[in-house]
Amino acid sequence: MIRDAETHQILLHTIARFVREKLVPAEEEVASSDRIPPQILAEMKAIGLFGLTVPEEFGGFGLTMEEEVDVTFELTRASPAFRSIVGTNNGIGAQGIVIDGTPLQRSTYLPRLASGELIGSFALTEPGAGSDAASLVTSARRDKDEYVLNGTKRYITNAPEAGLFTVMARTGGPGAQGVSAFIVERERAGLTVGPADKKMGQRGAHTADVIFEDCRVPAANLIGEREGQGFKTAMKVLDKGRLTIAAACVGSATRMLEDTLAYTSQRKQFGQPVAEFQLVQALLADSQCELYAARAMVVDAARRRDKGEDVSLHASCCKLFASEACGRIADRCVQAFGGAGYISDYPIERFYRDVRLFRIYEGTSQIQQLIIGRGLVKQGSLVRV
């Protein structure tokens, strides 16, 4: 339930205008330079985009899940690079501290994350531990009042810009029970960020390796009441993150479909707009149906989470359906553009590459299928609708 509908609408209108007037015009510069212009980043901080989900007592907006997905629908009508840096900061970069951090950790770090002074990152994936996250080998050894971290994290979003990392490391035996979570500031000796990865798409949204070599962090930077709670923290964070990624799929698909409708309505062949041909209309119709379904799923799951329901399976359903639908919509839109859809002069070519990642990160489509299937068998009933 949105607490103040009028205030929320003002926020949405502000973000929609910012996207239309600032972010969309900057897309080409971001794609060609592989960086968000500093003045755009400063404006993003100024209007509070880095603190959307940080509680109000720490300087953020404290948005509910439903409010957050509404904002994401609007924000992702521009290049996914803009959402990536703020979404990671609001989501997996900060939520471990919000959910399971100590009072001191929250008061120390959340205000700086909310303002954008610190940019957050989430270091879970490793060269040998991607989908099988519980098999991570980065270690954290207790040494008096410190932990000593060793290992390498891979494909870490925001790593080149991040000032703060939530790091999953092994403090105990094998499996999920041996994983703990730590807050690690970038300036810690022994922490090195590798060069930014060269990716198929999402230029301007950076990932990189993060290497720990005898990196010492205070024992007070352990997230949770004791060792071994890190994997549970990670899964709580990822449930929320999967809903946000699903919302990003909806926003990107909305932009692609709007651009395609506009292009096919003015592009003429055989003496009439391409949009008047029935087979082109079929591409548009199938895309509209899937977009409608994905948006409805995400809103429903967000409302359930705000009510306190366990939405792990709902979140996986949303992530699976919305990301796969977004990929199909991207393909149809390129087809409707014809040869122009294969040319980089049009944003649809860039979006086609950008949205491919949605089906991979924060749990591949195949991992979502496993989560859903195993969850259904375990509980012996369907996901509640």
| Interval 43-82: pLDDT, tens | 999 999 999 999 999 999 999 999 999 999 999 999 999 9
Place of tokens 């270690």: 139
Name 153's Cβ contacts closer than 8 Å, sequence gap at least 6: 123, 124, 125, 126, 138, 159, 167, 209, 210, 211, 212
Three-class SS of residue 269?
Answer: strand
Q: Among residues 170, 160, 102, 159, which one has the least CA distance to residue 134?
A: 170
Nearest-angstrom CA–CA distance, 31 and 324: 24
Three-class SS of residue 193?
Answer: strand
- Residues assigned a catalytic role: 362
| 384 belongs to a structural domain | no
For 322, counting Cβ atoms within 10 Å of its Cβ (0-12 exposed, 13-18 middle, 19+ buried), the class is: buried
| Structure-model confidence comparison of residues 362 and 332, the more confident one | 332
Tell whether 286 and 354 lie within a shared domain. yes
| Interval 201-244: pLDDT, tens | 999 999 999 999 999 999 999 999 899 999 999 888 888 999 99
Tell whether 324 and 368 lie within a shared domain. yes
For residue 274, is pLDDT > 70? yes
Tell me what percent of the residues of the chain surpass a pLDDT of 90: 90
Mean pLDDT estimate for the chain: 95
pLDDT at 384: 78
Tell whether 84 and 124 lie within a shared domain. no
Query: Count of domains in the chain?
Result: 3
Mean pLDDT of 22-35: 97
Mean pLDDT of 101-115: 96
pLDDT at 193: 98
Which CATH number covers residue 218? 2.40.110.10
Tell whether 271 and 302 lie within a shared domain. yes
Tell whether 82 and 95 lie within a shared domain. yes
Predicted TM-score (pTM) of the model is: 0.94
Q: What are phi and psi of 247, to 5 degrees?
A: -65, -35
Structure confidence at residue 3 as a pLDDT band (50, 70, 90): low
For residue 123, is pLDDT > 60? yes
Mean pLDDT of 121-136: 91
In contact, 243 and 305? CB cutoff 8 Å: yes
pLDDT at 385: 80
Tell whether 238 and 361 lie within a shared domain. yes
Among 65, 86, 115, identify where a domain stops: 115
Q: What are phi and psi of 382, to 5 degrees?
A: -75, 165
For residue 1, is pLDDT > 70? no
CA distances from 251 to 198, 295, 378 (A): 24, 9, 33
Name 21's Cβ contacts closer than 8 Å, sequence gap at least 6: none
| Interval 185-203: pLDDT, tens | 999 999 999 999 999 999 9
Which CATH number covers residue 102? 1.10.540.10
For residue 101, is pLDDT > 60? yes
Tell whether 224 and 236 lie within a shared domain. no
| Interval 6-16: pLDDT, tens | 889 999 999 99
Tell whether 32 and 99 lie within a shared domain. yes
